[in-house]
Chains A and B, each alone.
Chain A
């Protein structure tokens, strides 16, 4: 009896491992488990059969049966694991994509070079403690000229070709009127800059009827021409690089005295002379000067007590030099082939 069962167990083992060998999918594996290892499975039925054995024979047979159960459980578990792994591997291999196809583009918009440059310039001055103010584009003659010491019939008015609109107003020819508006409202000390659009009736590769300027003003007790030189040298170096040379050259603006033009060594040829700097090695970059006493009088400041400097620069020109742009009109065509370069 004992031997019969042992033989049977051996047959089952052989049969089971033969079947196990050919299992290749999860369904067959499950069927195998059902057949051998479930409650109604072969292993369980052998347990029942064992009950008919002598008590003496049971431990030996029981041991063999338990071993068989363990072997089958382990084998089918590792089989299932293998199959699952194969399935996953196959899935991965069939889910291959063409990695050479180009990525789907998430294309952010580009910032206009004028806006970028304005921000750069403004940041240099706000970092030094200058506040930002704005003013209207459509100005009165008073703010654009008169208060800035351009008298009615002064030829200095010819320095800027003015656009006139209805109602006796002008399109501001510079951002300087903002100086006056700020000084009228606030008492010194004043440290301000004013970025914005300005207008002059002129159009060619280096002139646009509308362009952008940044104006600056610093007024306090004891502000000197040496301070003007110091602040604007720092500005030029921050925008164009520490290596360049900066020079201050006497000039004339009705609202500043002494006045100066600031030149930087040519960023194109490094000062050796080229078409852009007209072979002078220098590029004119901004106008500046000590605030004229008559301007202080116009805003009811006492020129004997306070002093200050003002400056103004063309953003378009700075952007053209920074990026090597050769035609100012490109800024206002908004050709994406242009805008997407910056």
Chain B
């Protein structure tokens, strides 16, 4: 909404500068977003909140100024009309939609001469951002800006038989509005019709078929009150928002309908030399009356935390155009004018009092509230632990968009993830809610690689969204991605990351969550987007929690990766649930030295490291404290199909220093077990 400063001055005396007035308005709740200079006018760009329909007019804004400066608001300018002829001889109006059209008034103006508007009018319209058309159309816009009441002029000659009917169409049909667009209308829409059919889309836009043109000599001027619901629904559905529909949607002043019509009629007569009828039509299927809201003064104190005297409250409400009666010692009754349809409850009046009184005059206090011990989301501590573990591993935290492309999702088949569809996506590639975080990480990695980044380590801890038989499931996932150099910009290594780098990061997370001991990895078969030989499911306490692996070479192509990319994605909520039950258990520290013995064996290449580890740990030798693999080798010197694998076994006891004999016996037993169970050949 734009208004010019000089126009405001016609309705209230102003001694202050535009800047001062702008500040008063802003601090009173009608925000002046900017002051511009257009064609010699100071123009206020106002951000009017949806509740303040009254401030979509010059008069409404002038009233706000009068409240703050305590100057009198001047009344609407209307020159008295010297009419000719009775409107009944020209026009007959019927309303077949009482709920949608609560009031309809009309004048006839004859002998008009269509021309361009005078400069003063044109320059005001332009300053307010309205395109000038001709003196009649400009006058309707001018009075609308001034009073907030949308107005319309029809060419009388184009309205068949001088009959107007306001009704809903019987069936769907197409109507051409003033802007030349074809609009498909529904039986719920409200139309202004003549004998032959519609001539305007009520409250939104006139029809092409009744448009005022250079040939027009007689006008029907319309001022009405349409119910906001119907106007809003039609306007929304058609995507057609006009100055008129915006005002009707926010509710216009029922009692301003006729005064605005009179103001328009007198202005058009003045501008076009026309003559109005002596009387006018004013049909009121429904009356809207000023209502009364009662307010206890003590409520003001309870809500604002500030005492304001009854006298001061009364004076503030009166300045806003209310009639106020004192009905009890502590109670006022305010008659709410029809231009303030937003004021219906005591709290609405408290707000009016507060904003006019001035928020700045209400001193800050600290709540005297009985605070309790605070609660946090169940897993918030776990989020922090996992996040810190990954940060420590050099992974950067990302925040990914919740949207994904269903085209991209095709690459992530195999997990049976059914996405939730966004019905009005902002872009074609953001048309579903993400089911996994990995696609977002891949996009981020790709962006960084395109920016010449040589090492990318990313993680995200965010929600995923699934449609499970029309139940929408939101689930927190933890996902990560590694690609490129292991230690970028290092002078002593140029190796690229591999599977074990990303696995190590997940192991760090599992350790911080006390789940490392219960976790195991299983080769995963069903994830099509991972390299089948280099991917694994993470199983914790017999539950499949997620997966990790090398991105399938097909996807490398899609994301244009030239080196191997490694990803993981875990069901983080499930992980947290398991973790909550865990806590570290203290083990006695041994006073005695441990002994470490290495063992190198040759086994079939397919025997997993963890199987051999299991044999060693379960060999019945109670002295084994810890086993770790320190070398894996295939190739020269080793028979094909075999590998050399070497472990360090730590023997220890809490009771005594171990003897060589004891250790030799234990070690031999382990070697025997390995020979029996996996055909291991000891390397010496």
Interface residues of A (CB under 8 A from B): 101-102, 104-112, 114-115, 126, 129-134, 136-138, 153-156, 158-159, 163-167, 169, 171, 189, 191, 197, 199, 201-203, 209-210, 212, 218, 220, 222-227, 229-231, 233-234, 247-252, 257-261, 278, 290, 292-293, 307, 331-337, 339-340
Contacts and interface: CB of A to CB of B under 8 A. Distances in A.
8 contacts: A137-B465, A137-B474, A223-B369, A225-B359, A230-B366, A247-B360, A252-B51, A257-B351
Interface string B463-498: 101010010101000000000000101111000000
A158 B370 CA distance: 38
B362 A334 contact: no
The 9 closest A-B pairs by CB, nearest first: A224-B305, A250-B29, A226-B305, A252-B49, A250-B355, A258-B351, A334-B444, A230-B364, A129-B371
B72 interface: no
Given A104-B487, A339-B397, A225 B304 contact: yes
Interface string B353-369: 01100011011111111
Contacts of B15: none
Nearest to B458: A334
Interface in B614-662: none
B70 interface: no
Interface stretch (B276-284, B287-295, B342-350): B342-350
A218 B367 contact: yes
B430 interface: yes
Interface string B399-412: 11111000000000
Nearest to A199: B402
B489 A249 contact: no
Contact of A105 (B302, B444, B490): B490
Contacts, number: 254
B387 to A, nearest CB: 8
A191 B369 CA distance: 9
B424 A201 contact: yes
A109 B390 CA distance: 7
B487 A109 contact: no
B362 A105 contact: no
A141 B21 CA distance: 40
A132 B377 contact: yes
A225 B305 contact: yes
B170 interface: no
B399 A159 contact: no
A46 to B, nearest CB: 46
Interface of B: 26-29, 31, 33-34, 49-52, 228-229, 232-233, 246, 249-250, 302-306, 345, 347-348, 350-351, 354-355, 359-360, 362-372, 374-377, 380, 387, 390-403, 420-426, 430, 433, 444, 447-448, 451, 453, 456-459, 462-463, 465, 467, 470, 472, 474, 487, 489-492
A278 B229 CA distance: 36
Given A129-B374, A334-B444, A335-B451, 15 more contacts: A105-B490, A108-B394, A110-B397, A133-B377, A138-B465, A154-B50, A155-B250, A163-B423, A203-B426, A220-B370, A224-B303, A252-B50, A258-B359, A332-B401, A334-B400
Nearest to B352: A258
Given A230-B367, A231-B367, A248-B359, A290 B375 contact: no
Given A129-B371, A163-B422, A336-B396, A233 B376 contact: no
Contacts of B303: 224-225, 258, 290, 307
A313 to B, nearest CB: 17
Nearest to A101: B491
A258 B355 contact: yes
Contact of B397 (A112, A137, A199, A278): A112
Given A153-B228, A231-B367, A112 B29 contact: no
Residue picked from A101, A109, A115, A130, most chain B C-beta under 10 Å: A109
A150 B29 CA distance: 20
Contacts of B250: 155
Contacts of A202: 426
Residue picked from B228, B351, B423, most chain A C-beta under 10 Å: B351
Contacts of A252: 29, 49-52
Contacts of B372: 129, 189, 191
A136 B374 CA distance: 21
A230 B365 contact: yes
A133 B378 CA distance: 10
A153 B232 contact: yes
A191 B232 CA distance: 37
Contact of A132 (B375, B444, B474): B375
Residue picked from A114, A133, A154, A212, most chain B C-beta under 10 Å: A154
Contacts of A225: 303-306, 354, 359, 362
A152 to B, nearest CB: 8
A130 to B, nearest CB: 7
Nearest to A339: B396
Contacts of B392: 108-109
A231 B368 CA distance: 11
A336 B351 CA distance: 47
Contact of A209 (B345, B366, B398, B401): B401
A11 B362 CA distance: 111
Contacts of B426: 163, 201-203, 209
Contacts of A234: 366
Nearest to A303: B347
B397 A166 contact: no
Given A191-B371, A307-B302, A107 B397 contact: no
B223 to A, nearest CB: 21
Given A109-B395, A138-B472, A336-B396, A226 B369 contact: no
B504 to A, nearest CB: 14
Nearest to A119: B384
A209 B403 contact: yes
A11 B390 CA distance: 77
Given A165-B422, A252-B52, A290-B303, A115 B380 contact: no
Given A132-B377, A159-B50, A227 B305 contact: yes
A153 B26 CA distance: 27
A147 to B, nearest CB: 17
B398 A334 contact: yes
Nearest to B457: A109
Given A114-B399, A137-B463, A336 B394 contact: no
Nearest to B420: A165
Contacts of A220: 367, 369-370
Nearest to B302: A307
Given A169-B472, A210-B401, A334-B447, A293 B345 contact: yes
B304 A226 contact: yes
B397 A131 contact: no
A183 to B, nearest CB: 15
A305 to B, nearest CB: 10
B138 to A, nearest CB: 26
Contact of B364 (A111, A164, A229, A259): A229
Contacts of B228: 153, 155
A250 B374 contact: no
A105 B490 CA distance: 7
B402 A131 contact: no
Contacts of B249: 155
A332 B472 contact: no
B374 A130 contact: yes
B433 A138 contact: yes
Nearest to B29: A250
Contacts of B50: 154-156, 158-159, 252
A131 B374 contact: yes
Contacts of A339: 396-398
A197 B462 CA distance: 10
A292 B474 contact: no
A325 to B, nearest CB: 13
